Structure 1
């Protein structure tokens, strides 16, 4: 658990409350400093995942995973490949290389809740797969119910992979139950904060791959918090995190295909739009906004949206020639522009309301 706000207190305790015995020392040093940057030190303190006396499932989500893998049978690996082909490039929150290493060496080490959500979201793209389209697709509502149950169990003993699973559930599950999505979003944000995902890890003493993944996961959390609020104020504001926008070069391999490179650029642009939305939402949900300040904010955000549009690469720009846009066409490209138009509409409505 990362608790940056407690660092000053811990430093005082470390200096003035020296341990009196070796046993005391083990308890006093139960935290680890992971960063000592000028922007404030960050410390890590492990805490029990399960509350005392709670009889939790030995492996959360294992039963649902076994059910889904029995349904998929020999197609299980093909479904995972479909996820990494159709979903992960555009919303890169799972490290594919690390995943396949675990899958081949000991798949039981992979989170069952994460796997259930990978299976469920991949079913959406079933008929785009040359291997799978000739077979009957499993029932999607049934698959999503298994994924939801697996995530529920995993939340009783949460870890960082719980955040991955929750992001996939919110990304792919149809909005059958808005209240459930609101609750999932709220606890995912809290869990992300507890793991320090809201802090910039670039100066931390860890691998480049882990730093890049933490940055992408945080922005995925931010996207869900801002975009899937269902009419409730966001749980995150701009002053509560310092994580930079992920750059495509930090997570797209140099030998990646053109499609994968463009997917990385699209995710980067999605994050940029979300940062702009984060400045719009406080105005949307303000109960006593000053109309003069609102107009100034709107003008500033309109300039930001114009700058976003002007900086788009040709394959994402709707004003590009049709042959260029067609060569990079993906459903996520349309979603990105739909997102942009929604923000434009929000600003127009705010301006009309303020006037």
Structure 2
């Protein structure tokens, strides 16, 4: 019998008395559906006549597709709403857990407060000793650089490991302001002041046999050197704020001027090691074949490496930056293993200097200046960003554990100054703000999201709970990031290179986040987001090419293009054979990416290498199309397995997603 009691039914006036057809239910019960007969029942309201007569269980299938028709847009809107609520639920659960831990800690502290006086005194002493161990993690070296050691390490005795005097004895809450140089430097005259003081000083620590002047120029003419560094600052080092041009030229002037102190040779923003490492990259932007030739660039890289042990023995923040640029030098030449080694050295030096540790108490004591703390915060965040984007570039885990970071995110209040303007003859002849700091602040927030995305992807097989829940949370985070980007940092036809690179990187992250779910997402949200990200990458690269040419780019752009092209390859492998228009469009996007990569390859060999990889994949796909069956639209090309291997090896099954 039905779980619902039959309801007596009295025909309404005129029902079935006028000879018209009797109305039937819009949704038949299971019995009537099976016998393919008419049904007049209503789910939960009325047992149908047939079931009542034959005493059947008049039940209805809740998954019956008949009923209200919802289009794809409505279903997608509901899906987004559910994802949003799921993400909020996860966040609330985490907050509840955090508050519970806090409450337990407060309860324990309250119980300790009612202990005896001697016990309280003992606890206070233990806490003091514990805090002292934490303070001792940063140790002041003989070169006035802070290094990090564990409080249990014997090396904490190599220098004083706590501020020199308490604040109450200092009589001030903040250190004295950094003494300004005797001569105030304006961004436009840093170079002129350097060269006017000593016309040959700029070559002092550069290899004597390296070419840095054009044919017919005086060997000490600095114009080509300065021009290449300008391009380097504008196009290569501006994204992730890898160098402050203002502070580099300032410190270079202070280091190379007559009667300069030896300590000025190695600062946070300049050293001969950093200078040579930068030129090994900047020389690639030259129009002169002699200057941009690999043998000439290797001279600068080798000159930097000759200083390796001295730098490691007494590292500074410029040591960290120099290793990072040597990593880029080798990566640009397709020497990816060497590049990975040098970025690892950069991260190691950053950790040795304790750049991820809050040093505000050293500032308050007056042992270091506020500008030193700003340099340390900047040094950490630019290294952290390089570590993350490098790991994404080569597909390996990060070296820096974000949970160990105890310093604030970058902001206008904690970054070093940089008022070096943007200008590019023939494009922007007048000075405009470079917005390095502004882009860097937003990029670091994006980089934090990148670590969460890769944690999701790498942990799919070990993660408890639904992967879609974490995906929904990350979708909201990256959407919120995009909403919070200031209007002046929007991707437009006149946007600066670092702004365009930031938006390209955000689109690349969306591809990395969504592509593992590409084949299992029944609502096709991941597929649509991937396709939208590919569109945005190609649009912004077109803007870059039309305004600046692709000879001047950072290396990371190559991987974003590879991500866009392989996503199109994946779409082709999943598309029906008879979808000729769609396949032609996707094919055109891949060829566009290959063309861009070949343009980049004129400067960075890795661009041409990645282009050749794509050509091979495309040819494999075309071969699969020729031999593949065309009778069944649902069949994929035989090349799809090869495409999947390159596209993403962490594709997950529906069971793993739930």
TM-score by length of 2: 0.41
- Tell whether the 8 Å contact from 1:82 to 1:125 is kept in structure 2 after alignment: yes
1:33 maps onto 2:33 in alignment: no
Distance 1:255 1:332 in 2: 14
Distance 1:124 1:35, change over 3 A: farther
Q: Deviations over 1:332-355 (max 9, x none)?
A: 223212211121112213445243
More helix by share: 1
Distance 1:69 1:102 in 2: 24
Aligned to 2:416: 251
Distance 2:375 2:353 in 1: 13
2:347 to 162, 166, 189: 189
Distance 1:255 1:156 in 2: 32
1:212 to 374, 377, 390: 374
Aligned residue pairs, count: 303
Which of structures 1 and 2 has the larger relative contact order (alpha carbons within 8 angstroms, sep 6+)?
A: 1
2:252 to 74, 89, 103: 103
* TM alignment of 1:1-355, pairs within 5 A: 6-7=150-151, 9=152, 28=157, 30-33=159-162, 65-68=207-210, 73=219, 74=221, 75-107=224-256, 109=265, 110-126=270-286, 138-157=291-310, 158=312, 159-160=315-316, 161-171=318-328, 174-205=332-363, 206-229=368-391, 230-248=394-412, 250-252=415-417, 259-286=432-459, 288-290=461-463, 292-318=465-491, 325-327=492-494, 329-351=495-517, 352=520, 353=652, 354-355=656-657
Unaligned runs of 5+ in 2: 1-138, 140-145, 167-203, 257-261, 423-430, 521-651
TM-score by length of 1: 0.71
Larger C-alpha radius of gyration, 1 or 2? 2
Distance 1:147 1:4, change over 3 A: same
Distance 1:346 1:91, change over 3 A: closer
Distance 1:146 1:243 in 2: 38
SS of residue paired to 1:218 = helix
Distance 2:417 2:205 in 1: 34
- Tell whether the 8 Å contact from 2:276 to 2:300 is kept in structure 1 after alignment: yes
Distance 1:236 1:113 in 2: 24
Distance 1:291 1:242, change over 3 A: same
Give the superposition deviation at 1:186.
1.5
Give the superposition deviation at 1:116.
1.2
- Tell whether the 8 Å contact from 1:117 to 1:144 is kept in structure 2 after alignment: no
Distance 1:276 1:35 in 2: 39
Distance 2:302 2:404 in 1: 31
Aligned Cα RMSD in Å?
Answer: 3.6
